[in-house]
Amino acid sequence: PVPDPKTRALRMLVRLRTRDGTERLSVPDDASRAGDLRALIADAFAVPIRDQLLSTNQALLTAHDDALAPFRAEFADDNALLSALGVTHGAMLFMRYTVERKATVQQVKANVQRFGAKMTVDDLVAKHIRIERQDQPVCASVSFERAAANQFQGYIGAALGFRIMRCGIMFGTVDAQTKEVKVDTIYEPPQPHNNEYDILCEHENTEEWKRVQAVAKLLGLEEVGCIFSQTARNEDDDFTVSSHEITRMAVWQSAARRRRKAESTSGEDVDDLYVTAVVKRDDGGDVHFEAFQCSTQFVDLCERGVIVDPRTPGKALVVPGIGDGDEAMAAATSADETETAAASASASEDAPAGAAGTVFTTRDVMVGIKDVREVDNDWFVVPVKILDHVHPLLTSLFAVENRLTPCGPAELKDHLQLCRGKPFAEALADFHILLFLSAHFDLATDMALLVDAVMQKGTVLDGYKTIVEAIAGCA
């Protein structure tokens, strides 16, 4: 606690995180109970006591309305001591409410200026970008095949201990009518095993990626999303996803949207159903699966070069296939604003670690009633409902490619011995086995016949069976 300069009484500062930003609240020493805290919040931020939903768990901010019951009991007792609730000097609390609020001075980030400054009325109409929250995802739900999900999270926890980031590409099916996504398998591309803060995988121009796409197509699957694990956060990192993560999500989502539009027979815009799954471990050691989409607005802003790339401070994010982000930045910024925009963009280079929960922009955007060039990531993250299912055919028992653990003939031999007594087609009913075998068979002919036998639960030709066993060293 620190002394109040006016009364010299001890007070503590509490950080209060909402969907509108992070604010600080001064709590006098004599305000020691939950009811006192609620009254202070109502007075300082004009949020009625009855509308305040408080928690020490950041999941409150992204939870669906029908999943708020567990949070209501935490601060329900007005007589509960703040110390017993874990509220101490410097603590971070999370608050949810329904009332409309105007941003307070505390909420406004750096680089704030009076709305409309340096703009004519025509400029304002042409260039104004108002940041808006997307309450509902485009995707209605995402269902994970249980074995595939467990196979991914098991490796992250047991082998990597959540010390480095790991990503995968999810393949499954999409129901365009119900907007429901099913994830049936997860491909893990080549990636470094010493990365802690960013999603790094360059796979799209590799021969393996071509085989991945071919095998997935033969199985009737398509790319439906990406998945990554988060490393342990610092205790002050209260964001859902970092600036590195959300910009990577947007790039993948943009590519998927353009790919689906190109594949559409009508050529019209298609629904953005690409999903990102996040796997993380909490302080108690429990592993959590969460699913999100970037808001449609955020993907659009990335494509237009309005978002600064956190990996190259001072430069606009480049979305492959859209054009040079610097060109988009120049097009979006008038000549007399270019110098100011560059200075704002480069500010992210000196930003503190906690700013990883925000993205910088190359031009002014409007949040609430203020022009800002730094926006909280939670404005652009939309939670997606999670379900699970069991695939009626495919299993996830074989070793996964590109891990620290081996994936080769010896593992194929072990798998075939494990499946001894089962039909040979059933033993091969695993995406990762078929991907491994695709390096030994012709994709257009041999793999097509193998996959057809798997899908139809038919008989694998003796010649193919002999070759597979020879690859495994069973002959």
pLDDT tens for 259-310 read: 888 887 665 567 889 999 999 988 778 888 999 999 999 999 999 999 999 9
pLDDT tier at 341, thresholds 50, 70, 90: very low
pLDDT tier at 102, thresholds 50, 70, 90: low
Please report the pLDDT score of residue 449 as a whole number.
Answer: 96
Give me 206's structure tokens.
């590799």
Give pLDDT tens digits for 164-189: 889 999 999 999 899 999 999 999 99
Phi/psi region, residue 472 (left: phi>0; alpha: psi -120 to 50; beta: rest), is alpha
Report how far apart, in Å, the C-alpha atoms of 319 and of each of 61, 197, 302, 308, 341 are: 29, 20, 7, 11, 19
- pLDDT over 60 at 45, yes or no: yes
Lowest-pLDDT range of 69-83, 337-351, 443-457:
337-351
* Most confident by average pLDDT, 15-29, 125-139, 149-163, 313-327: 149-163
CA geometry: angle 335, 338, 342, nearest 5 deg: 170
User: pTM of this prediction?
Assistant: 0.71
- pLDDT over 50 at 242, yes or no: yes
Lowest-pLDDT range of 34-43, 292-301, 343-352, 368-377:
343-352
- What is the rounded distance in angstroms from the CA atom of residue 199 to the CA atom of residue 248? 7
Task: List all residues 6 or more positions away from 204 whose beta carbon is below 8 Å from its beta carbon.
Answer: none
Please report the pLDDT score of residue 232 as a whole number.
Answer: 73
- What is the rounded distance in angstroms from the CA atom of residue 172 to the CA atom of residue 221? 5
Please report the pLDDT score of residue 262 as a whole number.
Answer: 82
Give the mean pLDDT of 374-389.
94
CA geometry: angle 108, 109, 114, nearest 5 deg: 60
Give the percent of the chain with pLDDT over 70. Answer: 82
pLDDT tier at 119, thresholds 50, 70, 90: low
pLDDT tier at 342, thresholds 50, 70, 90: very low
Please report the pLDDT score of residue 375 as a whole number.
Answer: 93
Residue 92 near residue 238 (C-beta atoms within 8 A): yes
Task: List all residues 6 or more positions away from 309 whose beta carbon is below 8 Å from its beta carbon.
Answer: 247, 315, 316, 317, 318, 325
| Mean of the per-residue pLDDT values of the chain | 83
